[in-house]
Structure 1
Amino acid sequence: MSVPGPYQAAPGPSSAPTAPPSYEETVAVNGYYPTPPAPVPGPTTGLVAGPDGKGMSPPSYYTQPVPVPNANAIAVQTVYVQQPVTFFDRPVQMCCPSCSKMIVTQLSYNAGALTWLSCGSLCLLGCVAGCCFIPFCVDALQDVDHYCPNCKALLGTYKRL
């Protein structure tokens, strides 16, 4: 009767190592509880023959526990954040926050700080015969209000100064 050497596997069932568990088996994606790994068949000495014929200990597998869903879980609410709209002296295409429709804003021109400063400057230069009121007729010197054409709500203002 021969005794196996220190580098030989003991006779018995197959001493080939088994494949590690898949990702789903490890983290139990499809189930609530992890499944334990299958027992690794091996010799009674605890050594498994490696690819080079040397003995090695069987690999140990760990499973991560998956939290049990709570019956009192809070529902998740999706929030959509609309980017702020920057108003200039041109019409803007946007979604109206009042009527929730896609619109192109209507413009309205009003006298603002630049209009009054221009008027005062022309008065100081000697244009007092009515020429100092020209800035009130020039849209490029006035502030711009943006309105919704559908619900007539004021959406924003562009101030020149």
Structure 2
Amino acid sequence: MSVPGPYQAAAGPSSGPTAPPSYEETVAVNNYYPTPPAPLPGPTTGLMTGLDGKGMNPPSYYTQPVPVPNANAIAVQTVYVQQPVSFFDHPVQMCCPSCNKMIVTQLSYNAGALTWLSCGSLCLLGCIAGCCFIPFCVDALQDVDHYCPNCKALLGTYKRL
């Protein structure tokens, strides 16, 4: 019998040509930790045989389990970014942040600083007989509150002064 050289395969069953590595193995996709080499065929004495034929202990590998994401726990959240809304004295079409519906705001007029200043200035001019209360009837002199018609939430206020 001849002793095999370094270029010859070790004695044992020949499995024939092996398949080339897959794409994932080549580029190491999803390879989170090193995998230990496959055990060599041969006697199962617990010792591996080196190139020189002497026995050596198998290398010990520390492997850590990789958490596998749960396919059912993946949630997709759609985020809509809305530009800041400027409130003036006319209704605004927008998405209500309370009920998340597209609405046109309802307006409510309230006495503000301009209304009271107009009333005071009319009093100083001599309109004491009730004419000084006219600014409380004019919507163009009052502050405007914008409400959602669905959920009645206050969405914004336009102040004249």
TM-score (norm 1): 0.53
| CA distance in 1: counterparts of 2:92 and 2:76, whole angstroms | 34
Secondary structure in structure 1 of the residue aligned to 2:116: helix
1:71-113 Cα offsets, whole Å, 9 max, x none, are 9999997754321100000000000000000000000000000
Q: Does structure 2 retain, via aligned residues, the 8 Å contact 1:107–1:144?
A: yes
> Residue 35 of structure 1 corresponds to which residue in structure 2?
35
Does the 8 A contact of 2:33 with 2:63 survive in 1? no
Which of 61-70 and 151-160 deviates more?
Answer: 61-70
Asked if the contact 2:105/2:148 (under 8 Å) is kept, the reply is yes
Q: Residues of 2 paired with 1:71 and 1:10: CA distance?
A: 45
For each residue in 1:20-40, what CA deviation from the matched residue of structure 2 results, as whole angstroms up to 9, or x when unmatched?
999999999999999999999
Is this contact kept in 1: 2:103–2:149, CA < 8 A? yes
Change beyond 3 A, Cα 1:71–1:99? closer
Contact 2:135 2:141 (C-alpha < 8 Å) held by counterparts: yes
Q: State the 1:153 CA deviation.
A: 0.1
Separation in 2, partners of 1:69, 1:121: 71
> 2:98, 2:153 within 8 Å by CA — same for their partners in 1?
yes
Shift of 1:18: 29
Question: How far, CA to CA, are the matches of 2:104 and 2:52 in structure 1?
Answer: 76
Classify 1:5/1:114 alpha carbon distance in 2 versus 1 (closer, same or farther; 3 Å).
Answer: farther
Distance 1:109 1:62, change over 3 A: same
Q: Is the 8 A contact 1:21 1:37 kept in 2?
A: no
Moved more, 16-25 or 107-116: 16-25
Q: Which residue of 2 aligns with 1:14?
A: 14
- Cα distance in 2 for partners of 1:100, 1:68 equals 35
Listed as ranges, the gaps of 5+ residues in structure 2 are none
Partner of 2:121: 121
Identity of aligned residues (%): 93
The answer to which of 118-127 and 78-87 deviates more is: 78-87
Kindly report which structure 2 residues correspond to 1:1-161, keeping only aligned pairs within 5 A, or say none.
Answer: 79-161=79-161
4+ runs deviating over 6 angstroms? 1-78
Q: Deviations over 1:2-59 (max 9, x none)?
A: 9999999999999999999999999999999999999999999999999999999999
Under a length normalisation based on structure 2, what TM-score does the superposition of the two structures give? Answer: 0.53
